[in-house]
Amino acid sequence: MLAARSRALAHAALDEPLSDEEALDFAEAGSDALPAILEAAGAARDRAFGRRVTFSPKVFLPLTNLCRNHCDYCSYRRSPGDAGEWTMRPEEVARFVAAGRREGCVEALFCLGDKPETAFPAYRRTLAAFGQASTTSYLHHGAEVALAQGLLPHTNAGLLTDGEMARLKEVNVSLGLMLENVSPRLGEKGMPHHRAPDKRPEKRLAMIEGAGRLRIPFTTGILVGIGETRRERVESLLAIRRLSRAHGHIQEVIVQNFRAVAGVPMQHTPEPDAFELSHAVAMARLILDGEVGVQAPPNLSPGGTASLLAAGINDFGGISPVTPDYINPRHPWPHLTVLATECAEAGFTLRPRLPIYDRYIDRDGFLDPGLREVTRAAAARLAGVEDLSRLAAPPQPAARPAVEREERVQ
């Protein structure tokens, strides 16, 4: 058993990812196997990406926090009338985008709850007051505002139909949806997705596959510590790999660790320890094909830069000099000069990147022709960036995305 595992890790480090059987075997490996797993994952990352680790300078646009799902770990979602609920007005979108351009951002991240217009008449009236027939139409408008400022939109709007994704592809360089986990067990009574109909694995997988058929550069990922087993994590990563190999559209996979928040059903649930997160990150690197990036958010692991790098990440995701992480507002972005220093101490160079990976820009069918010029202009702005000090002071957490608001449409 030990000899077979050693051979599998050596092969994964130098040649090809773990097979399904090998990956499932390592899901059951104990803590004594972690050093060898980490060493192989680090070697696989170095082979694919070298010692360069990236992030995307972004402005975070939480278009609405209304959501029809009730995930037990989420502090972002609201219903109309709840304290802290919001839907950004068009002028707020424009203001945020302009601030992002001034501060050197290249990504406009649009994020919102799942299918709010299917659940809330008040939200539908708000959209109508904005002159928008649907959330997709409002997202399309916001993306056009971002493009006019030279920012590249990336949208994570929860479940979307093929038609909605096709329309958003016209104005987005990439789309995203967290798979979270393929286990239907997490949707059973007493589990975190029991009251979240849009978190059923078959629905998430269907959308990710639809994005592949549409040739949309795509970001997905898993959540660690929400009640899943290590085997279920590995099964989730293998499912992502199958879709990636079928369509070639998965550009990066996020490994995101659960952080407990007061006031939600899982507020007293233990957070995943360093072993669980390192194991999940390393398994992602050893399972996914080399061109697929592995990302972990640095603000959810303060002081953990060296550990994340040792586990095989090549990317930190989006970091904003303009807006907080509205999904995890209690966890501010790291200062980039500090993060760059931590990377350097571990033997890595930190550099900015676009929200679309380079290999998709000229790949047939993956980027709308109307977006090529603005994409290349954004790439030119990042080329040769050495001084990260301008992006070194991210904002502190805020309770809502705007300061001057009129009464909402009810």
What pLDDT digit, counting tens, does each position of 67-84 carry? Answer: 999 999 999 999 999 999
Asked if residue 176 is part of any domain, the answer here is: yes
Residue 176 DSSP one-character state: E
Q: Greater confidence, 400 or 274?
A: 274
> Mean pLDDT, to the nearest integer, of 98-115?
95
Q: What pLDDT band is residue 388 in, cutting at 50, 70 and 90?
A: confident
φ and ψ at 257, to 5 degrees?
-90, 135
Average pLDDT over residues 37-62: 97
pLDDT confidence bin for 261, thresholds 50/70/90: very high
State the pLDDT at residue 399.
47
The pLDDT, as a whole number, for residue 141 is 98
Pick from 20, 70, 35: nearest CA to 287 = 20
In tens, the pLDDT along 211-253 reads 999 999 999 999 999 999 999 999 999 999 999 999 999 999 9
Average pLDDT in the chain: 93
Mean pLDDT of 362-370: 97
**Total count of domains within the chain:** 1
Tokens 């970001």: give the residue: 219
What pLDDT, on a 0 to 100 scale, did the predictor assign at position 350? 97
Give the β-pairing of 250-257 and 293-295. Answer: parallel
Strand 349-352 versus strand 107-112 pairing type: unpaired
**pLDDT above 70: residue 299:** yes
CA distance 278 to 267: 23
pLDDT at 5: 87
- The residues that bridge with 112 in the sheet, in sequence order, are 64
Q: Identify whether 393 is part of a domain.
A: no
Do the domain assignments include residue 90? yes
H-state helical runs in 318-362 = 336-345, 358-361
Distance CA 331, CA 300 (A): 6
Segments forming the whole domain that contains residue 77: 29-383
Instruction: State the virtual CA torsion across 118, 124, 128, 129 in degrees, nearest 10.
Output: -160
Give the pLDDT score at 201: 98
131-189 pLDDT, tens per residue? 999 999 999 999 999 999 999 999 999 999 999 999 999 999 999 999 999 999 999 99
pLDDT at 410 over 50: no
CA distances to 67, 77, 158 from 300, rounded to whole Å, are 23, 19, 21
Global pTM reads 0.94
Distance CA(312)–CA(107), nearest Å, equals 24
Q: Which CATH number belongs to the domain containing residue 246 in this structure?
A: 3.20.20.70
**Residue 397, in any domain of the structure:** no
Least confident segment among 23-27, 164-168, 320-324: 320-324
Do 166 and 146 meet the contact criterion of CB atoms below 8 Å apart? no
Within a domain: 410: no
The verdict on residue 111 lying in a domain is yes
The whole-number pLDDT of residue 404 equals: 40
Is residue 67 domain-resident? yes
Looking up tokens 């069918």 gives: 365
Say if 14 falls within a structural domain: no
Q: What is the pLDDT of residue 401?
A: 62
Residue 408: pLDDT above 70?
A: no
Q: Write the CB contacts of 87 (distance below 8 Å, at least 6 apart in sequence).
A: 63, 64, 66, 123, 126, 408
Lowest mean pLDDT among 2-6, 163-167, 314-318: 2-6
The mean per-residue pLDDT over the stretch 39-46 comes to 97
Paired sense of beta strands 218-224 and 250-257, if any: parallel
Q: Give percent above pLDDT 70 in the chain.
A: 94
